[in-house]
Amino acid sequence: MDFISTRSMSKDLIEEILKSAKRFEPKKDFSQTLRGKVLATLFFEPSTRTQFSFQSAMERLGGNVLGFSTIEGTSVKKGETLVDTIRIISGYVDAIVMRHSKEGAAKLAADISPVPVINAGDGSHDHPTQTLLDLFTIKNNFKEFDGLDIGICGDLRYGRTGRPLSIALSNWRVKLHYISPPQLSMDGGTIKFLRDKGVQVKEVLKMEDAIKELDVLYMTRIQQERFPTEEEYLKFKGVYVVDKRIMSMAKEDMIVMHPLPRVDEIAIEVDDDPRAKYFEQARNGVPVRMAVLNRAITDSK
């Protein structure tokens, strides 16, 4: 099966992946699970965690990986279209993981590919496997989603992690606190979708106006590469910084998450705080992507 959009993942599917990922967590031998299968990782945009955790996940499952992390050295450089690239590569592999700067690129690939396609980020739109590992991290720390106050802070407009995380969380009774400058706020369509599903959504400008209530603070990077100009980006660079002062206002069991990479939005001094969970979150990419690959490849398309 494909993993393209978070909206189309049912609560049952999400729960099944989280449960399955738990099974893949311990360092047991899973090398027979996808033995002989081949995964293509096509990264048209930079990636560290997503690319390498998919690779690690596939190899731990006994499969093999081929792919590219820049278009240099591929026929894309000669002007080959995405459609042709997918047509060709899908003939060589059992599944495709793809990251692309254009919204909807993963859906297009899935429409023409006979093998499953997993969206590893399409523009500012979606990043479903990031959402799954974010949920996995929250569940590992709190056991239940119901009743949690979750703050999502930073670039909610261009970022592609806050929106799908919110959509997935709308399956439970959570309260969302959006912390952003008005110019980088969550789009109205998403807020309406969430409120229609019964989620309480509060929008604030300052971290200080939400921090005391939060169980989870999910920080995001200001997405420099998606701003029309450098000058526009510089207006927002460094607007939110979690440091010891902010942490001193937070609950004792609040957790800090971040999809990473961070630029300046979490001070290094926070790394030693037991509430800092972003490195644990990044590690969770492996078991969660093992569960996703297993489900994607085992289920016919």
Residues 6 or more apart in contact with residue 286 via CB below 8 angstroms? 24, 53, 56, 57, 60
Give, as ranges, the residues between 157 and 216 that touch ligand NCD (CB under 6 A): 160-161
The residue within the footprint of ligand NCD, chosen from 60, 100, 221, 289 (CB under 6 A), is 221
Residues 6 or more apart in contact with residue 57 via CB below 8 angstroms? 285, 286, 287, 289, 290, 292, 293
Q: How far is the CB of 48 from ligand NCD (least distance, A)?
A: 8
Residue type for position 30: F
Does position 151 interact with ligand NCD (CB under 6 A)? The reply is no
Alpha-carbon gap, residue 259 to 284, rounded angstroms: 11
Site string for ligand NCD, 50-69 (x = CB under 6 A): x-------------------
Calculate Rg over the CA atoms of the chain: 19
Residue 157: how many CB atoms within 10 A of its CB? 21
Q: Which is nearer to ligand NCD, 33 or 53 (CB)?
A: 53
Is residue 78 among the annotated active site residues?
yes
Alpha-carbon gap, residue 184 to 157, rounded angstroms: 5
Alpha-carbon gap, residue 30 to 60, rounded angstroms: 6
The residue within the footprint of ligand NCD, chosen from 55, 130, 137, 190 (CB under 6 A), is 130
Catalytic residue, candidates 7, 49, 87, 226: 49
Is residue 49 among the annotated active site residues?
yes
Is residue 251 among the annotated active site residues?
no
Residue type for position 26: P
Q: How far is the CB of 275 from ligand NCD (least distance, A)?
A: 20
Chain positions contacting ligand NCD, by CB under 6 A: 49-50, 121, 127, 130, 160-161, 221, 259-260
Q: Tell me which residues are annotated as active site.
A: 49-50, 78, 99, 127
